[in-house]
Every structure is written in structure tokens, then in C-alpha cells.
Chain A
Amino acid sequence: MARFILRRLLVIVPMLLVVVSLTWGLIRVAPGNFYSGEKKLPAAIEKNIREKYGLDKPWYVQYGRMLANTARGDFGESLKYPGTTVNSILATTLPVSATLGILAYLLALVVGITAGTIAALKQNSRVDYASMAAAMLGISMPNFVLGPTLVLLFALRWYWLPPARWDGFSLHLILPVLTLSAVYMAYIARLTRSGMLEVLRSNYIRTARAKGLTERDVVVRHAVRGGLLPVVSFSGPALAFLISGTVVVERIFALPGLGNYFINANLNRDEPLIIGIVAFMSIAVLLFNLLVDVAYAFFDPRIRY
């Protein structure tokens, strides 16, 4: 197990190298620059800017500097927000995105697993159809329709909850978390249902029933573990994605999260910021996938690394 984890941790380095290099190449070949705007700059000013940011150097020098920065974990100053380092932007936005993402995912897990298990146990019943239809609606309803509709009802019509803004751990979180978790709830419910259905037909469940366990024990102690495997493997990428921010929800609720910065950085060609966020995201993806694999061994005792 320890060797497995170590090997997977080592893979992060080449993966990161490739992802960061590709990103860098993509920004470099894209037309437009962080200083180019509506009006074309006078040549002398443009030359000064390029000199100041080292853009007049050959490409391999710039590439090397970017790699060195990434290796040190210090991505330098943002081009669009001068005087602000990329790391400080990450440090202020990450807690917002992470709080939102983790809360939304926890809610989605609780609701999704419950609904999915009940649907599987009562297959083809009304409860099953209703919860699966609700799940499909959750998948089909765009965030930017659900979010404003919730705001309209709960904030603007009934005045129960605040409509937007970031205010730490408070009532302000309820609507964005609900909006964000809807899709994940739906996916988890569907995954749980199909996973449970498969497990409930397997031999070890028949054994558990045959040795006289109550239905409750069969489900809680045996079936859930195996039935949740699809949810576990879904959770890695989903959590990584949620933590790295979700633009749409951040825009609707005016939250200072990572996703909004990332989109703006791309539009502004703010290279250090893009590289910083992409590096963070891919490390998050790889780490969460590793976590998933470790969790797999716990959920399915047949798996050995």
C-alpha cells in the first residue's frame, strides 16, 4: 500500500510537467496579449512592457523560467492585477471555493445516497420512478436557471434567505450550496441506484440473506459497501472540480471564488495566474484520484495494491 501511494505521488511530477507545458503553449499560441486592448499600444510602450516582463527573451528562457517558478510553487505576480501574487490570489479564493464545494458535495452525498438506495430497494415502485425523474431533472436543469429561480423565491419573494454575497460561514451559503449540489445529488443518486441493484443480485448478498441476517443488516453492513463503489470513483474528479471553483454559481451569487478568477485570467491572458490555477487544479485531480483508489481498498476488501 505505501509503495503504491508513493508511486502514484511520483507520477504527479511528470503529469504536472506535461499539463503545465501544454497550458503554457496554448496561451502562447493564442492570439492577444495581457496588455492588448481595444486600442493598439504605441510601439515604444509595447517594447517597454515586453522588456519589463521578459517577453523579449527567447521562448526557451521564458519557458524555463515558468517551469522553475512552478517547481518552486511560486508563480510570481499576476499580470492583470499588478502587485498581487498568484499565490495570494489562490490563498484568498481557495477557502471560498473549497467551503462551497465541500459543503455542496457533502449535501449531495447524503441526499443522493439515501435516494439512490431507497430507489434500488424498491425497484420499479413509485418512489423509484419519482426519485429517478427528480434526479434526471437535476441533471437537466442548468445551474444558471436553478440558482436565480431559488433566489427569486427564497430571497426576493419570501425574504427567508440572503440573495447573494460571501459572508463566511453563514446563511449566505445556503442558496449557492443548494444550487451547486443539485447536479451532483442527481448523479450520485443514479450511480448509487445502479450500483446497489447490481450488488443486491450478487452471491455474497444471497449468502448474507441465507445466514439469516435481517434485511436492514444486509443492506447497511454488506450491500452499501459494494454498491457505493461507483460513487467513490465518481467522487475524485467531482470533488477536485468543485474545489477549483465553479464560475457560474460564483457569478450568480457574487462569490469571490477561484472559478471566476480562472475565466478572467484566460480572457486576459494572465499567464502566471492561469499557470498557477491549472497547476493547482491538476494536482487536486491527481491527489483526489489517489484518495479514491485508497478508499476503494477500504470499500472492496478484494482489492490489494
Chain B
Amino acid sequence: MATPSSSPAVPQAGAPGADAPVAGTSLWKDAVKRLRKNRLAVFGFVVVCLVVTASLVGPWIIERATGYTYDYIPTDPALVNAQPPFTAPDGSFSWLHPMGTDDAGRDILARVLLGGRISLMVGVISTFVSLIIGITVGATAGYVGGKVDEAIMRGVDVLYSIPYMMVVIVLLAFFGGRSAIGQLVLLFIALGAVSWLTMARIVRGQVMSLKSQEFILAARATGVPASRIILRHLVPNTLGPVIVYATLTIPSVMLLESFLSFLGLGVQAPLASWGSLAADGIQNIAVFPWQLICPGLTMAVTLFSLNFLGDGLRDALDPQMRKG
């Protein structure tokens, strides 16, 4: 939609001037100010920070505090069965397992936090992969234009109509039988490879509207090579919408990973993600519902917060949208 730096921002310029007598706030400072006023976005930001911190240090703390082994199997064999949240083996109240335990007696909170590491990693790294592909393709198409642009964008159209599940399955098959870590890296790449299409379109649109502006003309007139113009002048100016879309890509990629894990194609057994934990939980839904609900709800809350944060960022960076 509208670019923060192009003409649609102009009619706005007169109005905020009245209540902001101090001159010289940058686009980014303005955006941060607007973001902080958006309570839902701040809430999202706080929750995301909490979840990230908990996933990073939580498992370590649990290990120290409870004396469980590194994979959270209780050392006491009497504990090897499923227990509801906040319940001791004898049925009394206990703080030991706030999310209960799974069939092997493993603490679900610890599993959820460990799974959070994987899920968040998938979200961030795959989004990064999709960013790189999307920006490269989109910027090239938008800057070069003409036949190249036409060919690239038709290609993107075709890729849109190829089911992403098929692409992911085929990509995952290429390196089958690797180690758990190898599988994970592959998952990052596969998920990134199917989620760059919209990013490419956004960047292309931005670049097209930017490239006819004077500063690009000036750069070209002084003999700056095309690759440098794209990297140093065009891409930095598309960052606003790109950051916004990337923030919204993270939850969607995490959701995609969880679907794959649900189908048994994603994160493999020794490792766990929120998706694979929830998928395990579904097996026991009638008897041990907390095994699904705890990881599922954690995931929903995190995605919810990420989405609010992304929405808030969009409103903050795009004055046109903010009115709506």
C-alpha cells in the first residue's frame, strides 16, 4: 500500500504539526511513539519477550530446580505416568508440574519451553530465508523491469498455484535420513522457500514506485552500478513494509511448521516443537486433555501476540492505514 516516504504522507503533514511543536522527529521515532500508544501491540511485544526469555532460560532453570535429567524424564520410577497440572502423584495439590506430565512422566512445561525454542527458531530463521529470497527476486524484478519483470512475476504467479505442501514434502525428501539437526535445517529452508512469494510482490511494488524518484536518478547519473543502487538505495527504503510483513510472516511460518509436525513431516522425535507436542497430545485427548491444551494454548497465545505486534507495527509505520 502506501509508502511512508511517498506522496500519500503529505496531506498528513499539516495536521500533526499542530500538536508536535518540536521539529525533527524521524519516521522511526514517530513510529515507535505510535507503537507505544497502541496498547494491544505493547501487550503483544511484552508477551513475545516473555515467551522468548522463558524458552531460552526456562529449561535450564527447571533442570537445576527439579533435578530431572536433561530430557526431563523423572529419576524416580514411581513418577513415570501422566499427571494432570498442579497435581502430585497422590492426587494432592503441587506446584511441581504446572502443565502436568506426559505418558513418560516428563514435565510438559519443560517440553513446551524446549519446543518453544524450536518453534521460535523455525519462525525466525524461515522468515529470514523467505526475506532473502523475496527481496532478491522482488528487487530485481522491480528494478530491471520490462521483460525480466514480466517473466519473474509470471513465474511467481505459477508458483502461487502449486500447492505448498507438495513443495515442502519434495524438498524434505531430498535430504531424507539425515540427523535431527540436518532435518531441522532442511525444514527452515523448505518453509522459507514456500513463503517468499508475497514478500517478492511487496518489494517489487515498492521498488517500482521508488526507482523513478530523483535520488535514484541522481545515483544513476553519477554512475553507481545497478547492484549497488538496489542494495544501498532501494532496499533500505523498502524496509518499512518489509519489516511489517516479516513480523506477520513469523507467526504464519510457525503455524505452517506446526501443521507439518501435526502430519508427522515436521520436527522429528528427539526434538519437539509446539506443533509436534500438540500432535502427540491429540492421541490422548479423551484421557489426558492437558497434553494437547497446554502446548496448543501456549502456541496460540504466542501467535496471537506476534500478530498483534505485527498489526501494530503496520499501523505505526504506515500513517495511511492508521486512520483505519
Contacts and interface: CB of A to CB of B under 8 A. Distances in A.
A63 to B, nearest CB: 17
Given A152-B285, A197-B324, A274-B166, A140 B259 contact: no
Contacts of A248: 259, 262-263
Contact of A252 (B275, B282, B306): B282
Given A32-B173, A144-B262, A149 B286 contact: no
A244 B304 CA distance: 27
B170 A278 contact: no
Given A32-B173, A248-B259, A19 B162 contact: yes
B116 to A, nearest CB: 15
Interface string B96-116: 000000000000000000000
Interface string A264-305: 001100000010001001100110000000000000000000
A142 B258 contact: yes
Contacts of A243: none
A151 B162 contact: no
B297 interface: yes
B262 to A, nearest CB: 5
A148 interface: yes
A18 B156 CA distance: 12
Interface of B is mostly: helix
Contacts of B32: none
B300 A144 contact: no
Q: Which of A140, A197, A198 has the most CB of B within 10 A?
A: A140
B286 A247 contact: no
A61 B284 CA distance: 50
A33 to B, nearest CB: 11
Interface stretch (A21-29, A88-96, A102-110, A212-220): A21-29
A266 B169 contact: yes
A13 interface: no
Contact of B163 (A136, A198, A278): A278
Contacts of B180: none
B165 A263 contact: yes
A156 B176 CA distance: 39
B161 A285 contact: yes
A278 B282 contact: no
Contact of A282 (B161, B278, B292, B307): B161
A144 B324 contact: no
A242 B87 CA distance: 42
Given A23-B162, A144-B279, A285-B161, A251 B258 contact: no
B258 A247 contact: no
A139 B306 CA distance: 11
Interface of A is mostly: helix
A252 B283 CA distance: 10
Contacts of B173: 30-32
A43 interface: no
Contacts of A19: 158, 161-162
Contacts of A151: 285
A31 B292 CA distance: 34
Interface in B152-170: 158, 161-163, 165-167, 169-170
B161 A267 contact: no
B296 A136 contact: no
B161 A142 contact: no
Interface string B264-305: 000000000001001100100110010011001101110110
B255 interface: yes
A137 B282 contact: no
A142 B296 contact: yes
A22 B174 contact: no
Contacts of B301: 140
Interface in A36-67: none
A23 B167 CA distance: 9
A1 interface: no
B308 interface: yes
Contact of A152 (B162, B176, B289): B289
B134 interface: no
B163 to A, nearest CB: 6
B165 A145 contact: no
A247 B165 contact: yes
B251 interface: yes
Interface of B: 40, 158, 161-163, 165-167, 169-170, 173-174, 176, 251, 255, 258-259, 262-263, 275, 278-279, 282, 285-286, 289, 292-293, 296-297, 299-301, 303-304, 306-308, 311, 323-324
Given A142-B255, A142-B299, A145-B296, 5 more contacts: A141-B300, A142-B275, A143-B259, A144-B262, A247-B259
16 contacts: A19-B162, A26-B166, A31-B174, A139-B307, A140-B300, A140-B306, A142-B278, A143-B259, A145-B293, A145-B300, A148-B282, A152-B286, A156-B285, A262-B166, A267-B169, A281-B161
Q: Top 3 closest A-B pairs, CB basis?
A: A145-B296, A140-B303, A140-B304
